[in-house]
Structure 1
Amino acid sequence: MAKLTATGVKAASAPGRYGDGDGLFLLVGRGGGKSWAVRVQKDGKRRDFGLGSASKVPLKLARERAVLVRSQVEAGIDPVAERRKAAGIPTFRQAAALVHAEHKGSWANGKHQAQWLSTLEAYAFPAFGDVSVANIDAPAVRDALAAIWLQKPETARRLRQRIRTVIDWSLAKGYRDAPLAMAVIDKALPRQRERVKHHAALPYADLPAFMADLRSKETMGRLALEAVILTAARSGEIRMATWSELDLAAATWTIPAERMKAKREHVVPLSGATVRLFERMKHYRRLSSDLVFPGTAKGKPLSDMTLTKALRDMGLAVTAHGFRSTFRDWVAEQTNWPAELAEAALAHVVADKTVAAYQRGPMLEKRAVMMAAWADYCEGACGGNVVRMAG
């Protein structure tokens, strides 16, 4: 293969690949742009590495870079990682800012966006914020965690996860040669006595009596709470529900993706009892709002505290969210429906194909049967008998 010349590089205009030998190529794009690439093959695997724009990298320098890349690959070194290192390895503080910038768009909760960095600023940056991410080691991380591990266990667990995220990102970017030895760090920390607190839930055996008590008095908070229970939805999904999302004739409630925790549209099949509840809510409908459960302030939804107050007034130390656990326990212990069906009803994140299947057709129909049985149970119509899944 004839080698390129500086004149030939400048004159090349037709789109294509021009070889210089030893895997070095001049690439000419359709728009006339020119760049360098070197193709290297090792252990039966072939990779192309960019060497820069031909307008900035002359032929001689391109050949030198190609030689370096080939030598690195032969020595088992990743040229891309080496190039990133040469560009400057960030400090832990700088890396954390970059990770935050990349991830914050996927966090729907604005409070979480702010807390993600503030936790690191308070407990990690003072210890090793200005240290290169390549040099952050297990002892430094252990000591930072140990300072709050017993006094602030929940914050410490979040700190641990966020430090690990930054380190894993640095590893993926080629700034580190190895991950943190998290198993070693965990073993070197004292055991925390505090455990993650779950939402207090009402035992499903007590639910029929509770529902009768709940319906003995009609308030906006009690009506919303009844909707939470019958649909197994999150309280926020009920409080923000709109009439435009409901199709009472088809007995479905379609919650748009932007209102769902998993950012996926969720279809809720409505039992007869739930449809009747929403029909009753028409009496409270306001012309100034599309909200099914309007709050006291014009255009504002019902507050979460209104549901909590309804429970406190009934003398119960449980949460609205806890009724989702009540539903899940009932399905697991009193029915033969598969776990996937219950998870779909709760809009938990499972495999994409599974989610899609349970949102339409026969599987949606099975969910409708399950929710109807749940409504019957809530009203005491099913007693404690095992509910058989429809075929």
Structure 2
Amino acid sequence: MPRKLFNALTAVKVKNAAPGRHADGMGLQLLVKESGARSWVYRFMLKGKSRDIGLGPAAGPDAISLADARDLAAALRLKVKAGIDPLEERERDAASALAEAQAAKVAAVTFKATAEAYIAANKESWRNLKHRQQWENTLSTYAYPVLGDLPVAEVDTPHVLKVLEPIWREIPETASRLRGRIETVLDSAKARGYRQGENPARWRGHLAQILPARTKLSRGHHKAMPYAEVPAFIAALREREALAALALEFLILTAARSGEVIGARWSEVDLAKAIWTVPADRMKAGKEHRVPLPPRAVEILEHARQFEGDYVFAATKKKPLSSMAMSMLLRRMKQDVTVHGFRSSFRDWAAECTGYSHEVAEMALAHTIGNAVERAYRRGDLFEKRRKLMEAWAEYCAGHGAAGEAGTNVRPIRGEVAA
């Protein structure tokens, strides 16, 4: 019967051993390759099969000493004796570690990052610049404040509803398009392996059971406050100290869209010149829009400086006011109107109580004027005329003149009606 080896190797033998396998005993072996590379191997028998498991290098900066190799082999022998296959155990541990690493990687992928990746991958194939900007603007204004920093794997129905419900009745067309964009982003995330399960933004058979169909909502019309009631509403609004109240008054005075106001950054504002320049990528028409700021709007901005952050109306240093903040304020004030409807209030006032032309009022609302030929010849934006109009609107909102008197208080400059 052959003698069993036990501690047959020495440090010198490990260093000088020729290519081949060299047994130390009790299953521990030194493997030397033709290249001179040396490593430790533990050979064991389990269920009638011989198997090898590597223990690590026997030479080099990360070398395992002979004594440590014997200790590792001894620990593995105990596992084998207990019926545990150390090779399978190592594979399971490696698979578990990989799964944990992948889970951590997926958890780090936010909804915003996924959306931005989708837009970057697809924007060149979209039909026009306006379409790309609408994708970015609607997600930035309404979705990112709620979903942006969430791991895309965790976005669920309550999160989607938190985005959609505040605007579903007020701006149904925008809300419906936003829902579709969120659904597409989440589908993209699933295709990339970032999430599993059903899409919580899916309409048919899911959100259709929760939200009213868009066809049942008013299309193209936003419930507006009669302009005669706006001064009294502004007075009540000024009694509130909430940031949303400042934002809403600023929106009314500038006749801007809610997304433009919520996303306003200090870098867009020139207080000295009383001008707010909204960049093209945040405008519905995809064109830069200069907004003349009446004195009260400037006063609001100066007051808003106490709230730290990049955004004018900042919920935190890095996040703007929630898209639903102004709508919720209207509800608390028991006003059955929409935020967007104040643009209609302004437009009705301008038409009925002033002598300013259609073009000036429409440009104040950042609407596209005329056909392509007319727009090609119109180079200016009627800014100074719009400034006078917005100052008159701010005076009216402050209660300086009743609705019936506004027409006599506002004097267009010469040639204005023909502009």
TM-score (norm 1): 0.51
CA 1:106–1:275: 2 relative to 1, 3 Å: closer
User: Given the alignment, which residue of 327, 351, 355 partners 1:332?
Assistant: 351
CA 1:264–1:106: 2 relative to 1, 3 Å: closer
CA 1:196–1:258: 2 relative to 1, 3 Å: same
Q: Secondary structure at the match of 1:249?
A: coil
Query: Larger Rg: 1 or 2?
Result: 2
Aligned equivalents of 1:207, 1:113: Cα separation in 2: 30
- Report the CA distance between 1:321 and its aligned residue: 0.7
Aligned equivalents of 2:236, 2:290: Cα separation in 1: 29
Aligned equivalents of 2:178, 2:250: Cα separation in 1: 31
Given the alignment of the two structures, is residue 293 of structure 1 paired with residue 317 of structure 2, yes or no?
Answer: no
Whether contact under 8 Å (1:344, 1:355) holds in the other structure is no
The 10-residue stretch of structure 1 (266-275 or 194-203) with the greater mean CA deviation from structure 2: 194-203
Given the alignment of the two structures, is residue 268 of structure 1 paired with residue 288 of structure 2, yes or no?
Answer: no
Write out per-residue CA displacement over residues 310-353 of structure 1, whole angstroms, 9 at most, x where no aligned residue.
11111101111110000000001111100110110000112434
CA 1:298–1:250: 2 relative to 1, 3 Å: closer
Q: Structure 2 matches for 1:347-386, cutoff 5 A?
A: 347-351=366-370, 352-353=375-376, 356-358=379-381, 363-384=382-403, 385=405, 386=407
Structure 2 unaligned residues grouped into runs of 5+:
1-123, 136-175, 185-211, 415-419
CA 1:103–1:209: 2 relative to 1, 3 Å: same
Structure 1 unaligned residues grouped into runs of 5+:
1-99, 120-151, 156-192
2:248 is aligned to 225
Q: Structure 2 matches for 1:106-185, cutoff 5 A?
A: 106-107=130-131, 108-110=133-135, 112=177, 115=180
| % identical equivalent positions | 45
Amino acid of the structure 1 residue aligned with 2:292:
P
Q: Structure 2 matches for 1:1-391, cutoff 5 A?
A: 101-103=125-127, 106-107=130-131, 108-110=133-135, 112=177, 115=180, 196=219, 198-284=221-307, 286=308, 289-295=309-315, 297-351=316-370, 352-353=375-376, 356-358=379-381, 363-384=382-403, 385=405, 386=407, 387-391=410-414
Q: Secondary structure at the match of 2:305?
A: helix
Whether contact under 8 Å (2:130, 2:285) holds in the other structure is no
Amino acid of the structure 2 residue aligned with 1:201:
A
CA 1:237–1:153: 2 relative to 1, 3 Å: closer
Aligned equivalents of 1:390, 1:381: Cα separation in 2: 20
Write out per-residue CA displacement over residues 80-124 of structure 1, whole angstroms, 9 at most, x where no aligned residue.
xxxxxxxxxxxxxxxxxxxx94527641344749849x99xxxxx
Q: Secondary structure at the match of 1:283?
A: coil
Q: Secondary structure at the match of 1:380?
A: coil
- Report the CA distance between 1:199 and its aligned residue: 1.0
Aligned equivalents of 2:311, 2:218: Cα separation in 1: 37
Amino acid of the structure 1 residue aligned with 2:388:
V
Aligned equivalents of 1:239, 1:103: Cα separation in 2: 27
CA 1:264–1:104: 2 relative to 1, 3 Å: closer
Q: Secondary structure at the match of 2:229?
A: helix
Whether contact under 8 Å (1:104, 1:113) holds in the other structure is no
Amino acid of the structure 2 residue aligned with 1:294:
A
CA 1:267–1:312: 2 relative to 1, 3 Å: same
Write out per-residue CA displacement over residues 188-242 of structure 1, whole angstroms, 9 at most, x where no aligned residue.
xxxxx97525111100000110000000111111000011000000011011111
Q: Secondary structure at the match of 1:304?
A: coil
Aligned equivalents of 2:322, 2:217: Cα separation in 1: 30
Aligned equivalents of 2:378, 2:282: Cα separation in 1: 17
Aligned equivalents of 2:349, 2:364: Cα separation in 1: 13
CA 1:254–1:333: 2 relative to 1, 3 Å: same
CA 1:101–1:115: 2 relative to 1, 3 Å: farther
2:120 is aligned to none
| Superposition CA RMSD, Å | 3.1
Aligned equivalents of 1:258, 1:203: Cα separation in 2: 31
Aligned equivalents of 1:343, 1:354: Cα separation in 2: 17
CA 1:354–1:233: 2 relative to 1, 3 Å: farther
CA 1:329–1:355: 2 relative to 1, 3 Å: farther
CA 1:244–1:101: 2 relative to 1, 3 Å: closer
Aligned equivalents of 2:300, 2:217: Cα separation in 1: 40
Whether contact under 8 Å (2:234, 2:398) holds in the other structure is yes
